[in-house]
Amino acid sequence: MTIRGMVLGKFLPPHAGHLHLVQVARALCDELVVVVGTLAREPIPGALRAAWMRELCTDCTVVHLDEELPQDPSETPDFWNLWRGALGRVLPFAPDRVFASEAYGHRLAAELGARFVPVDGARSGVPTSGTALRSDPWGAPSMLLPPVRAYYTERISIVGPESCGKSTLTTELARHFGTVAVPEYARSLLEAFDGDEAAADFPLIVAGQIAVEESLARRATRRLFCDTDPLVTVAWAEEFGRPLDGATVARALARPYAHTLLLAPDLPWVADPVRYRPDTRPGFFARCEDLLKAAGRRYTVIGGHATARLEAALRALA
């Protein structure tokens, strides 16, 4: 006989305890549906939480219940009727088992004609809660699942002209804060083609920089330091006489950086196979600043030699 199960939660946000619940439930039934119940007023969008759960629970069916339902039986005598009806509209099957870590699972299972199966009710296996994580997301980093870790990570971009120390400063900051550095995607692309300018596919560079950043944000701790960002690609496309289309420019300018460090071109030029414009650095710096202003970004201009750049960056981020 096929055993079908159900897990219901807000997943606000999903954490290691939720994943433990789902994994145990999945092992105890043949098919499992995870219901993400959300309200419009909650701090993390419901559709995003449902997307996270679909990513995290690939061997389950994940459905999003976004009806504005009461949250406690004391709110209305129709509480259980409302919930039974709403679940009936989203469930792909009538569950045989309801898995939960909280006492409401008894009544919920009874309402659905299912058996209640408790999982880690004392929260001793994975001691955390959504409330605790929302209050202090980095208080227990091990409880943050990869997409949630990326959501709570503060992104810092380091931008500027060529040969102004971006890569060095990015690496130093990541090391100082014990987190991850995002390399410049354009460099890796152009190096693969021996620096040939014709290989500079600017729409691909924008998309590639974003993709690399989003991937590495899932491994970051509190902050993510990005060696350049798509805004600089907009300036480079103009420099090469191949301006980007409006949608790509809008995507680049809309990136959610908490702060940007704009490096001044006051370091000596160091030749490199993927550096092209030694004489245009001041103008490129000005264009980057114009774009930062157009995007409404918080930014700080960083200059100086040797350790002065790192010290100035740390002051700006303090």
Least reliable range by pLDDT among 3-7, 126-130, 173-177: 126-130
- What span, in angstroms and rounded, lies between the C-alpha atoms of 152 and 145? 11
Q: Is the per-residue pLDDT at 125 higher than 80?
A: no
What pLDDT score does 3 carry?
97
Residue range 96-125: mean pLDDT, rounded:
90
Model confidence at 19, in pLDDT bands (50, 70, 90)?
very high
What pLDDT score does 127 carry?
77
**CA angle at residue 56 from 53 to 59, to 5 degrees?**
100
Both structure tokens of 135 = 């209050």
What pLDDT score does 131 carry?
86
What pLDDT score does 120 carry?
82
Burial class (CB in 10 A: 0-12, 13-18, 19+), 245: exposed
What pLDDT score does 87 carry?
97
- Say what the pTM is: 0.89
What residue segments make up the domains of the chain, in order of their start? 4-143, 153-317
| Class of domain 4-143 as given by CATH | alpha beta
Residue range 37-56: mean pLDDT, rounded:
98
**CA angle at residue 232 from 229 to 233, to 5 degrees?**
95
Q: Is the per-residue pLDDT at 81 higher than 80?
A: yes
- The answer to whether the beta carbons of residues 3 and 32 sit under 8 Å apart is no
Residue that the structure tokens 């960083």 belong to:
302
- What span, in angstroms and rounded, lies between the C-alpha atoms of 276 and 165? 15
Q: Is the per-residue pLDDT at 122 higher than 70?
A: no
Model confidence at 140, in pLDDT bands (50, 70, 90)?
confident
Both structure tokens of 227 = 């060696």
Return the closest-CA partner of residue 212 out of 198, 228, 195.
228
Both structure tokens of 98 = 């309801």
Both structure tokens of 311 = 């010290």
Asked whether the domain spanning 153-317 has the same topology as the one spanning 4-143, the reply is: yes
| Class of domain 153-317 as given by CATH | alpha beta
